[in-house]
Chain A
Amino acid sequence: MLVTTSGRFPIVSNGQHPLRAAVEEWRARVTPTPEAAWQDTELRAVQAETQAELLAAQSEAGADILDTGYVPVYDEWFQMARAAPDLEVAAPLRYLDTNTYYHHWVLDKVPKRNGESPIVSAYRHAASLTDVPLKPTLFGPYTIYAYADRQGPGDTPEAFAALVDMWAADVAALAAAGAKYVQIEESVVLRPKHRADFPLVAQAVERIASAAPDTTVVVHLACGEIGDLLLPFLEIPGLGGLGLDFTDAYRAPNLAALKQWRGDTFLQAGIADARSIRVETEADLHETLNAISANVPAERCWAAPSTTLLHLPRHAAFEKLAKLASAAHSFNGKRTLP
């Protein structure tokens, strides 16, 4: 069983980190926009150094498929907007039930891609630093659309399709750069008022996957019950993996849903609670893995944190990842190398 991560990592320790200081210095001297962050060579150099540090930390913790270690300026939504510079990014909104906030997009026109997002260059840099497989994570187009301030032509099927095309182009670029895995974060679709929008997510995933047929595209769904959406997800053409949350309130319903699991799709099993500082015991993790493996073969299952470890203090995040890796690798009594 392989161990993977799920998005970006916390960086500060005792309140300090060179990237935090660099962002502070940057925003004091420029108007902070996604393009300004992209153009700032000093800032990007510190981001690149941070990637090296976080790649090493993940490997040391025992992960098999790593995040690129990319830490965006401000947040992922803010940085992704660099790919469509005609769009405005607005004030931060609370994301899901987390106490974290992301800059939402103002979609007042059909978006047009004008260059790749910083995720792609971050992948290239990470790939130059390690031979370990990488899984860059992108918030998905549905999440951006769902949280956007949509007006006029920006609130149309054409606008959503254009967003999906932007993402497909980025994922194709990632694949061309050698990415074997890509994670698309679309947890919001599991929220009650968004479930009816599943067809939009399916449309997006099929389009994105078709742009990178040799890359395993994983859709990650944290903080929610998959329920009756499991089979529709598994039927999306090109879907390579599905990430589900097996912590807290979602463990029992998502384990129950797995009885319908079918096909060769990878399950990214979020078994370590990325939002609790309590480190799970190996016995706890094995118990959940046992329950999962009743329906999903271990070789098709990746052990993972339930969502990004960003919600934890840095020391706790890597302690949790190390425990997860140790437990998953001992689960089968052997470690299956990628």
Chain B
Amino acid sequence: MSQLPILPISSIGSLPKPPDLFQAEMAPLEQQDRAWMRQAQETAVADWLATQESLGIDVLVDGEQYRRSITTYFLEGWGCADIDPDAVWVLDNMYGQRAVIKRPATESRTLLLDWYQFAAARAQSELKVTVTGPYTLRDWVFDLHYPDRAAAVLAMAEYVREEVQALVAAGVRYLQIDEPAFVTRYDQPAELDVAIEGMRRICAGLPEHVTIFTHMCYGAFHEVYPKMLELPAQVFCLELAHVAPEMLDILRQHPFPADRGMGYGVVDAQDPRVESVEEIEARIRLALEYFAPEQLWINPDCGLQVVPRESAVAKLENLVAATHRVRQSLA
């Protein structure tokens, strides 16, 4: 982190996919033209890496161009789940394919290694690898195999740990474990505890030079703060472009610890409207009222996959411009 500028800029994870790739990946895996898919995915990853570098992003992501969703990619890839043929409503007119866990993993838990190496060979800047956390891998799917939720979460934690071990051995220094589901069952302490235990198992023994991020979105963060600090992450990337007054209240009551980082979300990841530089700058300055500059990372609220590509690029462009303005004033 010492080589990065103050207020380092990163993306969160997903970025818009080319329409033909998006369409093609909806087909069942066995019906997909694997060679065509791989080529299209590689092209899309390389394109987004170049785009982020040209925009001035400090820590790049691969845009998750090869993942059908943050859950099915891993569960199908590990061989422990099948996709239910009837997609489930999520929002608007959008229906999501749902994995059904049916067995322990039968395939290698090194899905990300190959993609990391592909990206690392093409990126000049630092890379951040994102992996879905074990709690979300259970909460956002169906399970017909494990006796209870905790057993499923801890089994997923072992699989994620194997992915992470392979990535760290290959040189990954920035690793983000996404747990958007962490914010949801805050009325059930046992659920939060098993999510924390899952991430602890993944991170146990990781070398100090690896920076662990976690990302949560769409949440009433004030409901899980300061409990969320029990997660063994150094940087918490939260959706804060429209920060709730309750979150600011609780940050005043329980200041964020000085030894942890905050990835402050400053652009809306759902709304295609492109925020102005001034708007984003104001959000960064609000963040500086609650966090020291050294603690802050600047990022979008969430993966930008659902907004059009031109909107995503423009949002990132303005995010970079706004951050540069604030950096200058801090200097």
Contacts and interface: CB of A to CB of B under 8 A. Distances in A.
A277 B93 contact: no
Contact of B100 (A27, A75, A277): A277
Interface string A305-331: 000001111111000000000000000
Nearest to B97: A15
Q: Chain B: interface secondary structure?
A: loop
A191 B187 contact: yes
B282 interface: no
Contact of A311 (B88, B187, B270): B88
A314 B86 contact: yes
B88 A102 contact: no
Contact of B87 (A12, A75, A92, A96): A12
Nearest to A21: B93
B188 interface: yes
A246 B68 CA distance: 34
A262 interface: no
B270 A91 contact: yes
Contacts of A313: 84-88, 98
A26 to B, nearest CB: 9
Contact of A101 (B85, B91, B191): B91
A10 B89 contact: yes
Interface residues of A, number: 39
A45 B100 CA distance: 34
B95 interface: yes
Contacts of A12: 86-87, 89, 95
B91 A193 contact: no
Nearest to A190: B187
B187 A15 contact: no
Given A192-B187, A192-B223, A316-B86, A15 B91 contact: no
Q: Which of A14, A23, A96, A249 has the most CB of B within 10 A?
A: A249
B92 A75 contact: yes
Nearest 4 CB-CB pairings of A with B: A313-B86, A97-B184, A101-B91, A277-B142
Given A74-B91, A101-B218, 9 more contacts: A11-B89, A12-B95, A14-B85, A15-B87, A99-B96, A100-B90, A193-B223, A249-B191, A277-B142
